[in-house]
Amino acid sequence: MNLTLKIWRQKDSNAKGQMVDYKVTDISEHMSFLEMMDVLNEQLVNSGEEPVAFDHDCREGICGMCSLYINGEAHGPDRGITTCQLHMRMFNDGDTITIEPWRAAAFPVIKDLIVDRMSFERIQQAGGYISVNTSGNTQDANSLPISKHAADEAMDAATCIGCGACVATCKNSSAMLFVGAKVSQYALLPQGQVEAADRVKNMVAQMDLEGFGNCTNTGACEIECPKGISLENIARMNRELMKANLL
């Protein structure tokens, strides 16, 4: 395939960015999207130009690092996948592909297509954990009976990889699906009940402090989430917050 790429280029967080056009040729439909980006960067390096900076790590849909807004969709035109799992067979010969970074005030651009997602880390640090005594007197996990339904829902919430697609696709740049998933994976299990009130209050407060918008129930986040995190987690987070504020 021969393609035209319109890519956001920005030298650093203080520079003014712009869209720049590039041509790539002989792209195989079997390539992943990031492999196509590798081809472009090899082309740029060989011609003495600055390669396009973009996030990636595992390239297996696990780490949540890859974060490209492709043709107006987080992670591109496929569903249930991350950018690294997107293949070029989703495009046609002669296509023009627009590639941008996540767009949110809480995700400032570092360079080109790389954004700073440390706001998610700070939300996690505010309460996304359980405090466990590891002095040798820890309780055996199997001694705490948990219903299969609760375990399954907690595991579904825990599949969130923190990629930020929910924020990028939301018209309000809301992080409530992310925070809802992180709150839910503990709220559904007995190990998370002890600190449940402090957890949800601290994580929501940090989310607001980071400048994320509120949820208006458009559902775009669930559709674009590569792990299919359900909006039910936002509802659960709201219930947990209401309970915590009444204590």
Q: Which residues contact 82 (CB under 8 A, 6 or more apart)?
A: 61, 64, 66, 75, 161, 163, 226
- Considering the domain architecture, whether residues 73 and 187 belong to the same structural domain is answered as no
Pair 240, 150 in one domain: yes
128 and 240 in a single domain? The answer is yes
Do 79 and 122 have their domain in common?
no
SS3 200: helix
> Are both 69 and 162 inside the same structural domain?
no
- Within-domain flag for 211: yes
Q: Where are the beta strands (DSSP E) in the chain?
A: 3-9, 18-24, 69-70, 73-74, 96-100, 109-111, 114-115
Inside any domain, residue 137: no
In a domain, 139, yes or no: no
153 in the same domain as 98: no
Q: Are residues 69 and 174 in the same domain?
A: no
Beta strands in 90-193 (DSSP E): 96-100, 109-111, 114-115
Tell whether 82 is covered by a domain.
yes
Is residue 91 a part of any domain in this protein?
yes
Which sign, positive or negative, has the C-alpha torsion 12, 16, 19, 20?
negative
Whether residue 221 sits in one domain with residue 102 = no
The model's pLDDT over 126-147, given as tens digits with 9 standing for 90+, comes to 999 988 776 777 777 778 889 9
Instruction: Tell me if 103 sits within 8 A of 42, measured CB to CB.
Output: no
164 lies in the same domain as 241: yes
57: in domain: yes
Q: Are strands 109-111 and 114-115 parallel, antiparallel or unpaired?
A: antiparallel
DSSP labels for 32-65?
A: BHHHHHHHHHHHHHHTTPPPPP---SSSSSSS--
Q: What is the number of structural domains in the chain?
A: 2
The sign one gets for the Cα dihedral 104, 108, 211, 237 is: positive
Q: Are residues 107 and 121 in the same domain?
A: no
CA–CA separation, 169 and 165 (whole Å): 6
**Structural domain that includes position 151:** 117-132+144-246
pLDDT given for residue 199 in this prediction: 97
Establish if 138 belongs to a structural domain: no
CATH number for the domain including 154? 1.10.1060.10
Q: Could you tell me if residue 175 is inside a domain? A: yes
The answer to whether residues 18 and 79 belong to one domain is yes
Where the chain has pLDDT below 50, the residues are none
Asked if residue 107 and residue 184 are part of one domain, the reply reads no
pLDDT of residue 36: 98
- C-alpha–C-alpha distance, residues 121 and 106, integer Å: 12
Residues forming a β-bridge with 32:
87
Q: Residue 191: its pLDDT value, please?
A: 87
Q: What is the pLDDT of residue 156?
A: 97
Angstrom distance (rounded) from CA 183 to CA 238:
10
CATH number at residue 67: 3.10.20.30
Q: Around Cβ 232, how many Cβ atoms within 10 Å? A: 14
The Cα 128–Cα 195 span in angstroms is 10
Contact 162, 197 (CB under 8 A): no
Q: What is the dihedral of CA 106, 112, 114, 115, to 10 degrees?
A: -10
Quote the tokens at residue 14: 């203080």
Query: pTM for the complete prediction?
Result: 0.93
CB 81 within 8 A of CB 75: yes
